[in-house]
Amino acid sequence: MARECTEPMNLLRRTFAVLMLTAVCEAMPSQHDGEFLVGGDISALTRIEQAGGVFRDAGDPGDAIEIMSRYGCNCFRLRLFVNLTNKNLVVNDLAYIIGLSYYPWWHGSMEDLRENLSKTAATFDKDIFIVETAYPHRSARVSKAQEGADKNMRWPMTPAGQEAFLRELITTVRETSGDRGIGVLWWYPESIPVKGLRIWYGGANAMFDSEGNALPSMNAFQEVAHKPKAKIDFSQLTSPIIFRGDQKYGFRDPAVVYHDGVFYLYFTLSETAADGGYYNMTAYSASSDLIHWTFPEIITPRDRNLNHSSPGNIIRFDGKWIICLQTYPTPNMETFGTSDSRIWIRRSDDLKNWSEPELLRVKGSNVPREDMGRMIDPYLLADAQEESKWWCFYKQNGASMSYSYDLKNWTYVGRASAGENVTVIRRDSEYVMFHSPANGIGIKRSKEPASWGQDVQLLTLGQKQWPWAQGRMTAATVIDLTEEPSVGKYIMFFHGSSKEGLKAHRAHGRASLAIAWSDDLINWTWPGNY
């Protein structure tokens, strides 16, 4: 679970190097606002850029140099500034980006910014970054640089208004022609009031409240951070493994949802304890390109008496996200969850923060919890024919099935002969079930969700060539993104355990999470290296 954190040190080194350059070039920024261009004198900035090109070439040749302007909504002044810069450059082939400030009370309306971004992209054909912005989350007396600037402050000065401003700004930048809008940075997000210290606008522009709690505007960054601009290039995936298991951790039982250009991958994180037992928790990671994944975030307690794990899937219901999962108690270091294992749902607004668990009484609302029997691996599915009807598949004497119209009152229907980890998707006029037999991924097909015959296919993918999966390959979840322009395929996530891993730790098998994809649910492809 450890990972290297080199970027802060690189940033420190580069900041130090830039300050050294400014001193050597006798071109320190003004004390007032940090600008190198004062009174129309471009010479200081020119010396910095010439030296900066040498510094860039001595480091990473791919690094870009940023030309920063505070003219967020004035393309004429920006054009004058950048043209002056270009004419005075000796090293005139530098790769640079244009950084703009945008504060609506100083720089104009969002419509003004949108127009300027378009003109700037067309004029210079360079990437553009909003490197400074902010908006109040509570009432604040902001200084107005323009007449009638109040009209530019059209979002309420509330936490919700701050979030709405940021979301609109991010959208505006992303829609810049030629994909030239590359990012947004918030100025001084941690500016909360501190006793004895003068804080910018009294902390009104912070992204945290006075107690240090993140405000809703933070979600705007999280949700768009990985949003792709182009179709996923599957040829860039070099290994099927997303997270590789080891002696300490196993990565199992994936579930996935694709939202706003981001894959949210949930899974069981199984941790080997010092006493030889284990903890099961549910964690998630996010990616926009299926290559770069965020560090796993755990969303359930580390508690052997609960072991919330095996997320089945994530659905949208009554304006909320719903995740279904199991408890899998091992209070006395049992290898598998006890007879108290049950299935649950949690609710969320943002796919990151989840409510307390609610028991799924899939045997009927009148059946006491203690009489429900051991059940694991839930999966929720919307009925294709009857609106508002939901099915729940779960492991109990095969694959058991119940239905509900409100996720609270359930009717038990029966069971099918199938293994654990059931996933069901709709394709054309039929339902397709993926489940886990002794090894591999079993597939069934049916015209309706309550009746299933024998398996019609058994997938083992590249297991023969995958040492990490030759003990057992299982727990596939499949998501249909064939109609999603940026994906265009069925995506499968699954886990595999090595023979050695299963011998060492039968409970989690040092499992690794992996990926494959298909155009037709029959023929599957995966990255070539393993």
pLDDT of residue 281: 97
- The percent of residues above 90 in pLDDT, for the chain, comes to 58
pLDDT of residue 84: 45
Domains in the chain: boundaries: 64-224, 247-524
Contacts 24+ apart (CB under 8 A), 8-12: none
Q: Is the pLDDT of residue 42 over 70?
A: no
Encoded tokens for 125: 């054909």
pLDDT in tens, 367-392: 999 999 999 999 999 999 898 999 99
Q: Which of 82-86, 97-101, 409-413, 434-438 has the lowest mean pLDDT?
A: 82-86
Q: What band does 219 get if pLDDT is binned at 50, 70 and 90?
A: confident
pLDDT of residue 529: 55
Q: Is the pLDDT of residue 431 over 90?
A: yes
Helix axis angle for 7-24 and 43-58, nearest 10°, is 140
Q: What band does 220 get if pLDDT is binned at 50, 70 and 90?
A: confident
pLDDT of residue 198: 85
Round the average pLDDT of the chain to a whole number and report it: 83
pLDDT of residue 438: 93
Distance CA 116, CA 114 (A): 5
> What would the mean pLDDT of 55-62 be, rounded to a whole number?
43
Q: What band does 12 get if pLDDT is binned at 50, 70 and 90?
A: very low
Q: Which of 157-166, 359-368, 400-409, 475-484 has the lowest mean pLDDT?
A: 157-166
> What would the mean pLDDT of 101-123 be, rounded to a whole number?
88
pLDDT of residue 62: 47
Q: Of 429 and 83, which is predicted with more confidence?
A: 429
Q: Among the CATH numbers 3.30.70.100, 3.20.20.80, 3.30.413.10, 3.40.50.11540, which is that of 64-224?
A: 3.20.20.80
> What would the mean pLDDT of 410-429 be, rounded to a whole number?
96
pLDDT of residue 256: 98
pLDDT of residue 417: 96
Q: Is the pLDDT of residue 228 over 60?
A: no
Q: Of 323 and 5, which is predicted with more confidence?
A: 323
Residues 435-448 as b/e (b if ≥16 CB within 10 A, e otherwise) read bbeebbbbbbeeee
pLDDT in tens, 491-517: 999 999 999 999 888 778 899 999 999
Q: Is the pLDDT of residue 68 over 90?
A: no
Q: Is 67 helix (H, G, I), strand (E, B) or coil?
A: strand
pLDDT of residue 403: 98
Q: Can you give the pTM of this predicted structure?
A: 0.62
pLDDT in tens, 143-169: 655 555 678 888 999 999 999 999 899
> What would the mean pLDDT of 125-133 be, rounded to a whole number?
88
H/E run at residue 270: strand 262-272
Q: Among the CATH numbers 1.10.10.10, 2.115.10.20, 3.40.190.10, 1.25.10.10, which is that of 247-524?
A: 2.115.10.20
Cβ atoms of 345 and 324 closer than 8 Å? yes
Q: Of 262 and 498, which is predicted with more confidence?
A: 498
Q: 414, 370, 371, 374: which is closest to 392 by C-alpha?
A: 414
Q: Provide DSSP, 422-443.
A: EEEEEETTEEEEEEE-SSSEEE
Q: Is the pLDDT of residue 25 over 60?
A: no
